[in-house]
Structure 1
Amino acid sequence: MSATDTYSCSIGTCPIPLATVKYIPSLLGNAFYLSIFVLLFLLQIYQTYLFRTWSFSVAMLAGIIFEIVGYIGRVQLHFNPFSPDAFLTYFINIMIAPVFFTAAIYFIFSRVMVFYGTPHYRFSPKDTFIIFTTSDTISLVLQCAGGISSIVAGRKVDSNHGIHVMLAGLIFQAFSLLMFMGLAAEYGWQIRRERRWRVNGTQNMGNTKKAARVRLVVIGLMVSTISILTRSSYRIVELWRGVGGTLANQQVPFMIFEGGIIVLASITLTILHPGIAFSPRWEEVGWGWGKAKEEGNGVMPVPPVNARSTGNSKPPHIDIEGFEEVVFDRSI
């Protein structure tokens, strides 16, 4: 039976196996996740005002908004699991939301690269950001195209054409995350090998306390990246046989590997917010869209008007609170 045949169905008139999901979504569980994302949205708004991390915050807020809308759809499904509109609201929004969280991760990592320097690394912070946000965009386009295809198909959610397109986007996202983790691990290994980078990092931040905050942000990056990769892997397996598959119609795995995992990633990126390390100079430690030249140990000084001379051949020190030698374009 197609979705259009069940528009007049309700829990009391039609059997659950005919519903868009073969179970009644938990009201308590989904309302709990919904309330968490609403709280995270408010916290992110406050942190945006506090830290001025505009690019990171836009990505995080976009992802959280999609999660909120998605769980509103899940709550609606609790009352009417036969509604294809509620199904698509939940399915599409929750599917694409993590793409924005990975974009936020790439914003942070590019700042971490600027902080420690990249004299011997294969990619600059700008190149790294562009490469992975491009892959993120491709994943988003595929998943959106799949979702639109599902809607245009006349709300026949039992048709898997759109699901296959979304699945391709998920696979691409998982592959990109694996590549990112590999390159990030290589970069981290180089930092540990070249102890002078860590010394430079501590000096750039002005004291060991601030340098420790950067390490906390890096831990947050690790936890959130692994979490999103775990979630993407689950969704690939879940949708491999379409929305009618066995795993796609089991609530407990969804609540753990989709809801719980993404909540963990979102909370981590909120608690270990990059603003604790890079505020109030988030823009100054960005790489910008302009070209910058590498000098010396990999940092790229661009002296502002109030630069003070050091009296030697080294580049002038820059009076930026917490940083001595790192200034970039302020366009991002």
Structure 2
Amino acid sequence: MDGPQSTDLVSPYNPSPAGNAFMLAAFAALVPVSLYTGFRYRTLLYTSIMVTGLLVEVVGHAAAAFLQFDPANRSLFCLFMIGTLWGATLIGSVNYLVLPRVMVIYGKNFSLVSHPAYFSISFLVLDIFALVFQSAGVTLASHSHTADEAAQGTRMLIGGLSIQVTSLVLFLAVYWFFRLKLSRRRYDLDLKFSSIFSSSRFSAWLLCMQISAVLLSIRAVIRVAAFSGGLSSDVAGSRLVTFTLDDSIVLLACTILVLAPAGRAFGNSWEKTSPFSSPEGSLDLPLRHQQRSRRRLKNMSISKPFTSATAFQPLNGGPPHLRHGTGPPPLTSPREAPVYVRPAYDLSPPPVVPLQNSQSLNQMYKEAGERRSGSWPLAPAPDSSRLVRPDTIWG
């Protein structure tokens, strides 16, 4: 029985020279624009991910340009596929960084979780899994020698694209649910950043963010459908599908995000709305995140309250009047006059209240009742013969 035959499972990919040159130039032209807006509005992490995605797209289309001279080159085909896959995924992930800032702007009452940064972390983890599965699937399928290896690589590629679709759809669902909650509770808005969310520039940017996420979701769904028949299918290698329903959609989403940057919508409040580092914009974490670990609390020694006998006895030395337990010197005024210093609380004995028996208490209550009722005898009038007449003083 013969062993597995080596089969050319990757069809010779023949990209359009004019279309590929246009895409290469368009993605390259967006790089300096993105760098300019990033340094101007100081959105370093946002701009870094965006520029990385654009550069990866440039590398992918450069590989497609060399693929025109050697259509059967598997390495160039693999580089082209990974470049276009990674570029769209990285460009879509910049929206995940902005969602927590949007929640910070409107206030704590509209946060869907205990800390909005959890959304960014969750979506970015999904994108990492998507990139890993896509890269592994393309590499295995493009360098496979059997039909089983090619099918396994295609399944991994479709799985990575499905994770990307799930991430984008969940992002849109969370954002639209947040907007629904916001529209029903306008009276709970935090007015600290009212100048931002009430501006037309911020509203236009929110619309651009949604459009880009929807476009990238449509592109990922189209790629899942195109690769369902394998990398050698007619749909996957079609120039019309690749240029119109793949590259053009990614370029349109990139253009929207670059020409409508998030830094321009947030203005000077970009750092203040960060839930990661800025104390002004970060939401309060739950109490369990502020507590120390049990092991650290167990090893800590808590001192007892000081009393007058131990208040001025330091453990590791100190000034002479503290080492000998004589107490601090008395405070003095600017004129060297002594200032009153209140003694320790345990040196002032509490007042002693004498114990009253029942007979004395009854007599006291009786006298108090007579005073209120008016039956208490009035004080005797003074003797008029002992008073001094006023006319004799001046006579």
Report the TM-score when normalising by structure 2.
Answer: 0.64
The 2-side partners of 1:185 and 1:61 are apart by: 27
The answer to whether the Cα contact below 8 Å between 1:146 and 1:164 also exists between their aligned partners in 2 is: yes
- In structure 2, the CA distance between the partners of 1:94 and 1:283, relative to structure 1 (3 Å rule), is same
Assess, with a 3 A threshold, how the Cα gap between structure 1 residues 77 and 197 changes in structure 2: closer, same or farther. Answer: farther
> Partners of 1:205 and 1:144 in 2: how far apart?
44
2:217 alignment partner, one of 205, 226, 229: 229
For 1:134, the equivalent position in structure 2 comes to 125
Q: Which of 128, 147, 159 is matched with 1:168 structurally? A: 159
Query: Mean Cα displacement is larger for which, 167-176 or 281-290?
Result: 281-290
Identity %: 22
- Residues 36-79 of structure 1, C-alpha deviation per residue, up to 9 Å, x if partnerless? 10011111111121111011111111111111011111212223
CA-CA distance at 1:100 after TM superposition: 0.9
- Aligned partners of 1:207 and 1:149: how far apart in 2? 48
Shift of the 155–196 alpha-carbon distance from structure 1 to 2, 3 Å rule, reads farther
- SS in structure 1 at match of 2:150: coil
Trace 1:71-86 onto structure 2 (pairs within 5 A): 71-86=61-76
CA contact (8 A) 1:66 1:96 kept: yes
In structure 2, the residue matched to 1:42 is 32
Amino acid at match of 1:219: L
* Residue of structure 2 in register with 1:53 after alignment: 43
Deviations 1:63-104, CA, capped at 9 Å, x for gaps? 111110111112122233222222111111111222211220
Cα distance in structure 2, aligned partners of 1:2 and 1:164: 18
The one of 188, 191, 198 equivalent to 2:179 is 188
Q: Give the deviation of 1:196 after TM superposition.
A: 3.1
State the partner residue of 1:95: 85
CA contact (8 A) 1:112 1:214 kept: no
Q: 1:20 aligns with which of 8, 12, 17?
A: 12
Q: Relative contact order: is structure 1 or structure 2 higher (C-alpha 8 Å, sep ≥ 6)?
A: 1
CA distance change for structure 1 residues 227 and 207 in 2, over 3 Å: closer, same or farther? closer
> Is 1:143 matched up with 2:134?
yes
Aligned CA-pair RMSD:
2.8
Aligned to 1:268: 256
Distance (Å, rounded) in 2 between the aligned partners of 1:76 and 1:160: 26
Letter of the 1:20 partner, please give it. P
Query: Per the alignment, in what secondary structure is the counterpart of residue 231 of structure 2?
Result: coil
1:218 maps to what in 2?
A: 206
Q: Which residue in the other structure is 1:110 paired with?
A: 100
Counterpart check, 1:30 vs 2:30: no
Name whichever of 97-106 and 233-242 sits farther off. Answer: 97-106
Counterpart position of 1:7: none
Pick the structure with greater CA Rg.
2
Alpha-carbon distance between aligned partners in 2 of 1:155 and 1:66, rounded to the nearest angstrom: 29
Is the contact made by 1:74 and 1:86 (CA closer than 8 Å) also made in structure 2? yes
1:264 Cα offset (Å) = 0.7
1:252 paired with 2:240, answer yes
Partner of 1:279, secondary structure, is helix
Single out whichever of 118-127 and 129-138 deviates more from structure 2.
118-127
Whether contact under 8 Å (2:78, 2:142) holds in the other structure is yes
Q: Which residues in structure 2 correspond to 1:252-331 (within 5 Å)?
A: 252-288=240-276, 292-293=283-284
**Structure 1 equivalent of residue 352 of structure 2:** none
Give a deviation string over 1:239-285, Cα, whole Å, max 9, x none.
00111122112110111111010001100101110011123442221
Q: 2:24 is matched by which residue type in structure 1?
A: L
How far the C-alpha of 1:151 sits from its partner, in A, is: 6.3
Q: Give me the whole-angstrom Cα distance separating, in 2, the residues matched to 1:80 and 1:220.
A: 39
Provide TM-score, normalisation by structure 1: 0.76
1:153 Cα offset (Å): 4.3
Superposition deviation, residue 146 in structure 1: 2.0
| Distance in 2 separating the partners of 1:248 and 1:109 | 34
Give ranges in structure 2 of 5+ residues lacking alignment: 1-5, 287-395
Aligned 8 A contact 1:64 1:97 in 2:
yes
Matched, 1:204 2:193: yes
CA 1:83–1:152 in 2, change beyond 3 Å: closer, same or farther?
closer
Distance apart, 1:205 and its partner CA: 4.4
Give CA deviations for 1:143-163 in whole Å, capped at 9, x if unaligned: 12223434664799x934322
Instruction: Please give the per-residue CA displacement for 1:224-243, whole angstroms capped at 9, x wherever unaligned.
Output: 00000000000000000111
Q: Which amino acid aligns with 2:140?
A: S
Pairs aligned (count): 277
| 8 Å Cα contact 2:27/2:54 also seen in 1 | yes
Structure 1 residues 274 and 148, CA gap change in structure 2 (3 angstroms): same
